[in-house]
Each structure stands twice: as C-alpha cells, then as structure tokens.
Amino acid sequence: MKNLHWTFLILFAFASSLILTSCCADNECAEEDIYGKTIIKQTDTLYNKNPKLVRGPFYVQIGAYANKSNADAFLSDAKKQLRLKIDMKQTQDGIYRIYIGEYKTVEEADDMLTTVKREGFSDAFVRDDAGPISK
C-alpha cells in the first residue's frame, strides 16, 4: 500500500509539471531553460481551428457527356448559338465537361449564368474544380 501511495505521488508530480509548463491559450508558452530560468516566448498556432476553404476559379458548366462524339456535337452547337469562347475538358473519371469562362468570383460567373440560361441552357450552373457552387 505504501508503494502505491509513493507511485501515485510521483505520477501526480510529473503530470502537474507537464500541465504547468504547457502552452497557454494566449499564444504564449512558458518553458524552462537548462539553468532553471522560466522563459516566456510568443509561439505560432499549431493549427487553424476554422480552416478557410478557398474556391475558384469559377466556370459556368453548360453540359457534360461520357461520349466524346456527343460532347463534340454539343460543343459545336453551343458555340454557334452563344457565339462565346466555350471550352471542353475531360475529367479523371472520363466525363467531358463543356464550360464557359474562368472567373475569379462567383458573382462574375453568375452574370454569365444568367445570360446562358436566357439563351436556353436551363441546366447550366456555376462550378469550380471541386464541384457545383451553391449559394
């Protein structure tokens, strides 16, 4: 019983010293140098609790096809109808996406989306490389 008591005291002392020298919430960290002096220094945050999701550039997708010949036909028709620069790219999963623009903001892409929908492309939507953008 005496050994258990001493073991508990040693563990408590060790745990207390770890808690007292750990970093504080105000980005200051207390530690001791090899001579026993307490050193306070400013530290950086180890991680961001609320990571910022960076999205963009933005595109207006007007079509997507698994078959290249269907995608080519749609692209040709869309270029004639809209008279805009329209591009096509194949994704890693083999889908051919037909899209307009490369906009820095969602608002710019939304302006083009309004124009495209007015011209009859009712299924068009704004997206970036990560997927559709919802407002």
Q: What is the pLDDT of residues 80-116, one digit of tens each?
A: 999 999 999 999 989 999 999 999 999 999 999 999 9
Residue 121, amino acid: F
**9-31 tens-digit pLDDT:** 666 666 566 555 555 444 455 55
Q: How many CB atoms lie within 10 A of CB 25?
A: 5
Cα-based distances in Å from 40 to 18, 26, 28, 29, 46? 16, 12, 6, 6, 17
Is 32:39 a contact under the CB 8 Å cutoff? Answer: yes
- pLDDT for the residue 56: 80
- pLDDT for the residue 45: 53
Quote the mean pLDDT of the chain.
78
Q: Which residues contact 23 (CB under 8 A, 6 or more apart)?
A: 29, 43
Residue spans in the chain of domains classed CATH 3.30.70.1070: 58-132
Domain 58-132: which CATH number of 3.30.2130.30, 3.40.50.2300, 3.30.70.1070, 1.20.120.350: 3.30.70.1070
